[in-house]
Structures are given as structure tokens and as C-alpha cells.
Amino acid sequence: MKDFELYVPTKVIFGKKALKQIPCELPKLGKKVLWVYGKSSIKKTGLYERLKAILSQAKIEFIELGGVKSNPPLLKVLEGIELARKHEVDFILAVGGGSVIDTAKAIACGYYYKGNIWDFFEKKAYPEKALPIAVVLTISGTGSELNEVSVIVHDTKKIKRSLRSPLLFPKVSFLDPTLTFTVSPEYTAYGAVDAFSHVFEFFVNRKYKKDNLVEDLMVSIMKNIMKWSKIAVKEPTNYEARANLMWASSLALCGILKAGIGAYRFPIHAIEHTLSGGYDIPHGLGLAILMQAWIKRYKNDNIIRKFFAKVFDLSIKKDISDKGVELFENWLKELKVPMSLKEIGVPEEDIDVLVDKAFEIFELYGVEKEYPKERIREILETAYF
């Protein structure tokens, strides 16, 4: 077990009655809020009106920033910072999924920063102060509701970058699984794949690969994501499925599953960011395609065989590589997720550019030697057909 630090100061309020705690919790953060949300869905489902009533009951004045899209653009963050400054808000309320939360986080620390907020994403500067953030989660997957990470897309550069700071942990996250009843089977699947991929990357791409407690926790979470996602895409209002999926997704990236694993990498995410950043496809879809390619390509590696053995309860002593690939693909098929870059219309000739873009990300993190261009190409080519 490797040395680690763990700090997750977010208060989680989980369940069917979670929103009832808003009038008790939010006034602790201030009287005036910038309310960030996405496209039209919260208006369609009635959540918008419901929250409006709750905020007024809690005597919280709100300024709205709607229209945040997936693969959240920097321009929206800048708009939010301006709005937050103009109205001198006390805190930010994110109502949505990962994109909305990540936008809220970037606004929260951008509020106090005099330079260009993109500096944070290019590691040229670090946040020193941030507004408090509260979250009402409406889609499971990214885990942003319980961590300190924000991922934003630069509008003109078409690149996706992440920022990590302990200032960005939400103060409080309201997780009501019934709010995800209206998420389409497609996006339910993408969210589940996203959450799964976080654990998969920890499991596969860590230096310290011995059997231990943390590994078993990872396996429990991966098994549960597989199990409950299959139910949730078929029965959208199955509370158990939605609740287990939501909680598994939050736990997946909150830090507990990397506690003790030592150095780790997120290469599948790095490569994926070139896809969702470049073609505006859902992050979870890009991850599904790349994860499946990774598994196929490295199916005989010890760590992938250990993954097959533990997640699918197979005997590591047998030749389980092909069986493992099949079982993993069966899961994606059941979720009805496309499984190749070709299928989603990425032109084959783009692979060269994608390799270069992904390599740039590895360079940014100083791990380009571990992931030379040939290795990136290998994965993208396996992912193509």
C-alpha cells in the first residue's frame, strides 16, 4: 500500500427527500447565488420551478446562468464569472451533471482571479480562493459532485483540459436519484461508462498492483456499476438501480479508490479528451470506445487478466483473455453503446491529428515517455473498426 492523502470535505445529502434539506443548508453559504444549469431539461421536468420555490422559501436571491452544454465551453465560464462579479454573489449553485458542476467550479475560482482563467487549466497559475459551491445532481457519471476537479473545453483551441484544487470541493451536494429517472437510456449508459472508466483507469493504470483492500473496493464498485446500469437503461424509474448507480459514480472519483494505489495515469481519459473536445461527442461514448479498444489490445497483460478475473469472477489460472473481452463487450452491448470510432463517424484520416493532440496532453502532464505516439496510435486504430 502506498502513502496517500485523502480529504473529501463535501457534505452529501442523499435520497428521495434530499432537496428538502436545501432551505436548511444553502443559507449557510450566503444570501445571493449564481444558479448554473444546462439546457432545457430542468425546465421540462419541473425541477426548475421546484427549485425556484425552494430558493424563495430559503430567502435566497438568485441570478441565473442557463444553457451550459456538455463538454462545457470556456466562454460560458467567462460569462458566469462576469455575471457573478456584477451581482456580487455569495456562492454558486450547480444544478445538472458534470458539465454544469465543472462550469460552476471554474466560475467559483475564476471569480477571484485577475488573470485569464484558462491559466489554471494550462497549469500556469493555481487558484488561491474560490466561492463556495453547492450541487443538485441530475445525472450520474462524472463524480464531479464529490471531487475537486473541473474539466473545460477551450472554444477556439478545441482542447479539453482539467483543473484540480481542494478549493473546488462542493460544500454540499444534494443527490436525489429520482431526479435521474428522466435521463435517457443513452445518457444513462454514457454516465455509467464514465463512472466505470474512472475505476478502470485506477485499477489498470496504477504503479502499485498488489492485491489489497483498495483493489477490492474498486472491484465492488465496478461490479455494481455494471449490474445496476443494465437495469437502469431498461427500467428508468427503478429507484434501486438509479440510487446505486448514482452513489457508485460519486464514490468512484472521490479519492477513496485511489487511496494507497501510488502513482496512476488516466491515459484513456487523455485520449478521449481529444474526441469529445474535438467532435463534441459525449465523453462517456468516447470512453466506451477507447476502453473497449484498450481491453482488446492489452487483453493478455497481467493487470487486464486480473481485471477480468476479479470483475467477472473468472479463474486467473485459466486462459480468460477472450472470455473477458467478450463479457466486457456484452455489457456495452446491453447498454446499446456504439463500439467503434467508425460507427460514430470519425473520419479515418483524422487519426494522425488525434494522435498528435493526445500526445500534447501527455506532454502537458510530463508522461509522454510512457505514452509515445505509437502507443496512442495503437489504441486509436484498434478503436477505429
Site residues for a second copy per CB under 8 A? 1-18, 21, 177, 210, 212-214, 216-217, 219-221, 223-224, 228, 239-240, 243-244, 247-248, 251, 256, 259-260
C-beta separation of 180 from 140 below 8 A: yes
**CB-nearer residue toward a second copy: 113 or 208:** 208
Q: Looking at the DSSP assignment, which residues form a beta bridge with residue 268? A: none
Which of helix, strand or coil describes residue 84? helix
3-state secondary structure of 73: strand
For a second copy, the closer of residues 77 and 253 by Cβ is: 253
- What residues pair up with 95 in beta bridges, in sequence order? 37, 136
- 239/264 with CB nearer a second copy: 239
Dihedral sign of CA atoms 163, 275, 159, 350 in order: positive
Whichever of 181 and 239 has its CB closer to a second copy, that residue is 239
Tell me how far, at minimum, the Cβ of 11 lies from a second copy, in Å: 4
CA distance 64 to 68: 11
DSSP 300-331: TSHHHHHHHHHHTT--TTS--HHHHHHHHHHH
Shortest separation between residue 81's beta carbon and a second copy, angstroms: 28
Query: From the CB of 219, what's the least distance to a second copy, in Å?
Result: 8
Rounded distance between C-alpha atoms, residue 357 and residue 243, angstroms: 37
Tell me which DSSP letter residue 136 carries.
E
User: Between residues 213 and 303, which has the closer beta carbon with respect to a second copy?
Assistant: 213
User: Minimum distance between the CB of residue 23 and a second copy, rounded to whole angstroms?
Assistant: 15
Distance CA 8, CA 171 (A): 10
- Of 335, 12, 330, give the one whose Cα is nearest residue 192: 335
C-alpha cell at 171: 460544500
- Encoded amino acid at 385, one letter: F
Q: Which is nearer to a second copy, 245 or 289 (CB)?
A: 245
Q: Reading across the β-sheet that carries 133-137, which strands appear in turn?
A: 61-65, 32-37, 91-96, 133-137, 172-175
CB of 52 to a second copy, least distance (A): 23
CA 275, 187, 50, 101 torsion: positive or negative? negative
Minimum CB distance to a second copy smaller for 2 or for 342: 2
CB of 175 to a second copy, least distance (A): 10
Least separation, in Å, of the C-beta of 188 and a second copy?
Answer: 16
Shortest Å distance, C-beta 190 to a second copy: 20
Amino acid at 346: V
Pick 126 or 385: Cβ nearer a second copy: 126
